[in-house]
A and B are shown apart, each in its own frame.
Chain A
């Protein structure tokens, strides 16, 4: 017993001395403020760019250290949910605008209004700010548009000289482009339930293209037209098999490997497509619109947003870092790294001047409207999942288009009623 007591005493003293040392070290470290910055951007950017941006900030602001927590998108999404629940979110947060509604609901992020007015911040330089309950919570750092990518070699081989502009032309082109003996299909979509953004980028992008709307009420003529289009394409065997569990990267992989002739995808993937298959000849165009539509085109837009955690102990320093990220030069550097359009309209990205395809992308962005109705919607990913489930049931022949829309509408109503 004596021995046990002696051992316990030694252990306790050791622990006490370790903690005492720790506290003196933390006292020294108090002079430096460490800002945690969690995002999924760094893994998607060119190597070293984000590190350089943060290092330059540290050099210009002695006493501030940026601790980058860079993880893949899905992991950041999970971490954000956990961090918001436990009050341990990073000071500065890379945030998809589709997550912001729930973060505000959980009181996990700070309104930016006070910081902006205290600094007389020029809001007119920002392309988009998410406003909820009358307060500004999130700034779009980079915007990505989703045009139609098409394989020009396959088009030439199929004798198609013009990019399909309407749903009917789209079906007709897909029929000509599909050759199952070559494992070649007209169109590819990704309806995986793991990350159901295929609903936003493959399905709703076509609703928005004709200036349609589907959120919060999907049971309407605009969405019905697109559901009918997908059903026709599926019934005719024009979609790449396996799309019900395919993810976005599978779709890109199929395009790169000449398995599909057309896909709606992010401009951010242009470099990746070129890297994966340097011989692939492709171009971009506006996604098809409904047959009877003649108004302006609207492109699907996704964004990287930035916000400040409510649990941050250094909100002012966090805001200063946000301003730095949103400055025209830094914003354009990030944009150059991922083929995005800067959230600061004064940003002048170089990538749009690099070649004809990039110039065309910039022209599409400038000349057409952009929309994403899931940004700021409650449980946006859940809404997409619920629609995907109904769409899959419809494509499996378990229900009609109108039943799928009705069921989606009922399921969404429950989310909005929470």
Chain B
């Protein structure tokens, strides 16, 4: 009898932790798992919602999407946009973080710089899109300044020319996203023990070597996490592209998110849109695995 009670008690103890995670698991299931399963189910049908009697078509929607030239170019644009954004976010974020951490600046001046540098991060995508559309209007202030400075002769259609539009959008995204890196890296820089720099100085290490052998190894986990997270977030960019160019001119700024949106809201191809969304999810999940592994190794 006592043994039975003890087994029951042990079982209860084993179950205890699961009770604690039950609310979170329930919430995640309702908000994440069920919609994902539903979207996956949709992606295997000929078309849902507009078609009252959808039929199972297997992977046919996935094949159609992957074969679509517009989707291929959207993947290319997304990768270009994402890779350059992540690289320049890191470079700018690191530069400004080092500047703000510098002992040569007074604390007052540093506070002013901190406010200025963090400014782009405070705007919502809608505001960013409106502000930059106005700045980059062919008859707007940017062209005027560049013309006055003698850098350009005529009018540059930053957001309407197929040759410049993707680079312009990437630039706007870099401007908007670097403060996140700057803040995170600055926190990391402030946690590097000063003694290590002092010891390195005694050993004759110059600033470059200190940066390479002390700063970078300390910041490596932060850089890795930031880059992977930024890659996932940037890859899913939608509002900035949609509100500035709508994926155009032509398909020159079509990214995976705008491609999926158009399938849904303009073409009413809900099943194909689901297949496209599942592909984006799959890519994000693959990158997420790297993130989880980097977190585990810490």
- Cβ-neighbour of B246 out of A102, A106, A194, A379 (below 8 A): A194
- 18 new A-B contacts, CB < 8 A, other than A193-B247, A245-B165, A259-B139, are A78-B265, A84-B49, A102-B50, A240-B138, A240-B139, A242-B137, A242-B157, A242-B159, A250-B133, A250-B137, A379-B268, A382-B262, A385-B262, A385-B266, A389-B248, A389-B251, A396-B162, A415-B267
> Which of chain A's residues has its CB closest to B241's CB?
A194
Q: Mark A92-116, 1 if CB is under 8 A from B, else 0.
A: 0000000000100111000000000
- Cβ-neighbour of B268 out of A102, A259, A392, A396 (below 8 A): A102
- Interface set of A (CB-CB < 8 Å, partner B): 1, 4, 77-78, 81, 84-85, 102, 105-107, 180, 183, 191-196, 240-246, 250, 254, 259, 379, 381-382, 385, 388-389, 392-393, 396, 398, 415
B52 touches A392 (CB 8 A): no
> Which of chain A's residues has its CB closest to B15's CB?
A1
- Point out the residues of chain B lying under 8 angstroms from A254, CB to CB: 139
- What is the bound-complex CA distance between A382 and B266, given in angstroms? 5
> Which of chain B's residues has its CB closest to A260's CB?
B139
- What is the bound-complex CA distance between A244 and B248, given in angstroms? 8
19 contacts between A and B (CB under 8 A): A4-B19, A81-B265, A107-B52, A183-B139, A194-B245, A194-B246, A194-B247, A196-B246, A241-B138, A242-B137, A242-B159, A242-B160, A244-B160, A245-B160, A245-B165, A246-B160, A382-B262, A385-B262, A396-B162
> Which of chain A's residues has its CB closest to B47's CB?
A418
B248 touches A393 (CB 8 A): no
Q: Mark B10-29, 1 if CB is under 8 A from A, else 0.
A: 00100010010000000000
Which residues of chain B in 225-266 are interfacial with respect to chain A, using CB atoms and an 8 Å cutoff? 242-251, 262, 264-266
- B16, B138, B242 — which one has the most chain A CB atoms within 10 A of its CB? B138
B243 touches A194 (CB 8 A): yes
Asked whether any CB of chain A lies closer than 8 Å to the CB of B270, the reply is yes
- Point out the residues of chain A lying under 8 angstroms from B50, CB to CB: 102, 105-106
Asked whether any CB of chain A lies closer than 8 Å to the CB of B282, the reply is no
CB distance from B249 to the nearest CB of A (A): 4
Asked whether any CB of chain A lies closer than 8 Å to the CB of B155, the reply is yes
> Which of chain A's residues has its CB closest to B261's CB?
A78
CB distance from A203 to the nearest CB of B (A): 15
- Point out the residues of chain A lying under 8 angstroms from B242, CB to CB: 194
The 5 closest A-B pairs by CB, nearest first: A194-B246, A241-B138, A193-B246, A193-B248, A244-B249
CB distance from A95 to the nearest CB of B (A): 15
- B138, B159, B266 — which one has the most chain A CB atoms within 10 A of its CB? B266
- Point out the residues of chain B lying under 8 angstroms from A392, CB to CB: 248-250
- Point out the residues of chain A lying under 8 angstroms from B270, CB to CB: 85
- What is the bound-complex CA distance between A396 and B155, given in angstroms? 16
> Which of chain B's residues has its CB closest to A5's CB?
B19
Kindly count the residue-residue contacts between A and B in the assembled complex, taking CB atoms under 8 Å apart.
90
- Point out the residues of chain A lying under 8 angstroms from B262, CB to CB: 382, 385
Given contacts A78-B265, A81-B265, A183-B139, contact A241 B16 (CB under 8 A): no
CB distance from B253 to the nearest CB of A (A): 9
- B242, B244, B247 — which one has the most chain A CB atoms within 10 A of its CB? B247
User: Considering only CB atoms and an 8 Å cut-off, how many residues of chain B contact the other chain?
Assistant: 33
- What is the bound-complex CA distance between A105 and B133, given in angstroms? 37
B139 touches A245 (CB 8 A): no
- What is the bound-complex CA distance between A195 and B49, given in angstroms? 23
- Point out the residues of chain B lying under 8 angstroms from A244, CB to CB: 157, 160, 248-249
B264 touches A81 (CB 8 A): yes
CB distance from A164 to the nearest CB of B (A): 23
CB distance from B28 to the nearest CB of A (A): 19
> Which of chain B's residues has its CB closest to A382's CB?
B266
- Point out the residues of chain B lying under 8 angstroms from A243, CB to CB: 160
- Point out the residues of chain B lying under 8 angstroms from A106, CB to CB: 49-50
- What is the bound-complex CA distance between A254 and B140, given in angstroms? 11
- Point out the residues of chain A lying under 8 angstroms from B265, CB to CB: 77-78, 81
- Point out the residues of chain B lying under 8 angstroms from A245, CB to CB: 159-160, 165, 244-246, 248-249
- Point out the residues of chain A lying under 8 angstroms from B137, CB to CB: 242, 250
- Point out the residues of chain A lying under 8 angstroms from B268, CB to CB: 81, 102, 379
- What is the bound-complex CA distance between A244 and B139, given in angstroms? 14
- What is the bound-complex CA distance between A245 and B165, given in angstroms? 10
A192 touches B246 (CB 8 A): yes
> Which of chain A's residues has its CB closest to B161's CB?
A244
CB distance from A329 to the nearest CB of B (A): 36
Which residues of chain B in 96-145 are interfacial with respect to chain A, using CB atoms and an 8 Å cutoff? 133, 137-139
A379 touches B250 (CB 8 A): no
- Point out the residues of chain A lying under 8 angstroms from B12, CB to CB: 1
- Point out the residues of chain A lying under 8 angstroms from B19, CB to CB: 4
- Point out the residues of chain A lying under 8 angstroms from B250, CB to CB: 389, 392-393, 396, 398
- What is the bound-complex CA distance between A254 and B139, given in angstroms? 9
- Point out the residues of chain A lying under 8 angstroms from B16, CB to CB: 1, 4
A382 touches B267 (CB 8 A): yes
- Cβ-neighbour of A193 out of B52, B155, B245 (below 8 A): B245
- What is the bound-complex CA distance between A398 and B250, given in angstroms? 11
- What is the bound-complex CA distance between A274 and B246, given in angstroms? 29
- Point out the residues of chain A lying under 8 angstroms from B133, CB to CB: 250
- What is the bound-complex CA distance between A393 and B19, given in angstroms? 60
- What is the bound-complex CA distance between A18 and B236, given in angstroms? 39
CB distance from B24 to the nearest CB of A (A): 15
- Cβ-neighbour of B266 out of A250, A379, A393, A398 (below 8 A): A379
Which residues of chain B in 246-298 are interfacial with respect to chain A, using CB atoms and an 8 Å cutoff? 246-251, 262, 264-268, 270
